[in-house]
Chains A and B, each alone.
Chain A
């Protein structure tokens, strides 16, 4: 309930923040939404020497689509900004589907999309969406910016590849070539529960043909699982009973769940299968309706 002591800095530019991280030599942590970090401080699972609060850096709360159709989400864009976004609802259905399922409505007013991805919790919903969408994180350090695909961003539970003096300033979802379709299905026993299992499906479609697919799994591994084989099985095909069943089976095979009080490993795998199939079927049937 009571964090241990730390120093606190509140820079007003990204450069200042980077300088503070640099000086911290690995003992400084970024405070953005704080909805993951502060609980860890309270339970003393984390005890950094310095917190660098970026909430006073202006101009980071944005989300917008650029002219090419890529979605840019700034470091201080809150979960609820995404939940309420009409443009995201229209153009990025996977993200729109996940937004109301992240934590609870109060936590969503503070927690940030980028912060959640950086946190590297295998229970994090956004990481699955970003992997399914082939998204990337823009990191800024003393030597400038680089783009890191989310697929290789998290290396283990709560560990990411950012250098100690880098900040994730933005998350980017590349523009689809065709039409973005998607879903996010999560088995939680109540609002705010950890997922027993969840599936993010993102399809880039031209008519009823899948140009590119991404499927990623929450809560069934030490990190978010990239069900790449399942996704690739859909590339170039249409969504029919066979292709859906195959993809669902491959997604379940990719899962690495553990048995715990939420359910057995085989049950979680079964949910991955069921939810992958439901997500794809849902997309298929609404395509038919629209057509």
Chain B
């Protein structure tokens, strides 16, 4: 963004606005937001991180899942103002500059995605699982991902993708 100009409304509107500062994928970012703005919308429209998707209006589908202070949350069911001072990780933060995260590799290797719409949320939930449980069983994976809906894959390859990633993460941990 630039400090050179910002167009504002000619008719001032009396709308409450708050400054929020959020660490997003390791980088501190700030925005002035209305309290009613959903966190998912700040990420997508405010910060241009469109990898987090919205797929329902009743907090069921989990396409919007991000990591909030390391825990998976549905970003459509949080207000942006609640994230002030907190840490948010999105799918865009999974890969390093030079490497994909093993979860990303696993999803590609095991055909764990088709249309790709649920995938970012699914991977973030999987990341949270593997951080708590590096060697999950198939049942534990299915349970941990039961808050994320997929319409395309039938989940079987998603489970295989997470197992693949778990193997690789354990191997590189030593």
Contact = CB atoms under 8 A, between A and B. Distances in A.
Interface stretch (B77-85, B92-100, B109-117): B77-85
B62 interface: yes
Contact of A109 (B18, B72, B145): B72
Nearest to A37: B77
The A interface, classified by DSSP as helix, strand, loop or mixed, is loop
Contact of B147 (A3, A38, A39, A192): A192
Interface stretch (B21-29, B53-61, B160-168): B53-61
Given A8-B35, A55-B82, A110-B77, 16 more contacts: A3-B38, A10-B84, A31-B82, A35-B77, A38-B59, A38-B78, A38-B79, A42-B38, A104-B62, A104-B147, A106-B73, A106-B125, A107-B147, A109-B68, A191-B146, A192-B146
A34 B71 CA distance: 15
Contacts of A34: 77-79, 82
A23 to B, nearest CB: 15
Given A39-B59, A105-B146, A109-B73, A2 B79 contact: no
Contacts of B58: 39, 43
Contact of B77 (A38, A105, A192): A38
A191 B148 CA distance: 10
A256 to B, nearest CB: 25
A31 B147 CA distance: 22
Given A43-B57, A106-B74, A10 B143 contact: no
B138 interface: no
10 contacts: A3-B38, A6-B35, A8-B16, A8-B79, A104-B60, A105-B147, A107-B59, A107-B77, A110-B73, A192-B147
B90 interface: no
A55 B35 CA distance: 15
A107 B146 CA distance: 11
Interface in A1-43: 1-8, 10, 31, 34-35, 38-39, 41-43
B42 to A, nearest CB: 13
A179 B14 CA distance: 59
B144 interface: yes
A287 to B, nearest CB: 28
Contacts of A109: 68, 71-73
B34 interface: yes
B15 interface: yes
Contacts of B65: 106
Interface range for B: 20 to 34
A105 B35 contact: no
Contacts of A249: none
Nearest to B146: A191
A109 B16 CA distance: 29
A260 B73 CA distance: 31
A3 B36 contact: yes
A41 B77 CA distance: 10
A10 B16 CA distance: 14
Contacts of B54: 1
Contacts of A105: 72, 125, 143-147
Closest 3 CB pairs of A and B: A104-B147, A8-B35, A106-B147
Interface in B1-59: 15-16, 18, 34-36, 38, 54, 57-59
Contacts of A10: 81, 84
Q: Looking at B34, B65, B81, B82, which has the most chain A CB atoms within 10 Å of its CB?
A: B82
Contacts of A53: 81-82
Contact of B36 (A39, A41, A103): A41
Contact of A106 (B16, B18, B34, B72): B72
Interface in A76-99: 80
Given A35-B59, A110-B77, A4 B148 contact: no
Interface in A38-91: 38-39, 41-43, 51, 53, 55, 80
B146 A39 contact: no
A53 B80 CA distance: 12
B36 A5 contact: yes
Nearest to A41: B36
Contacts of B76: 42
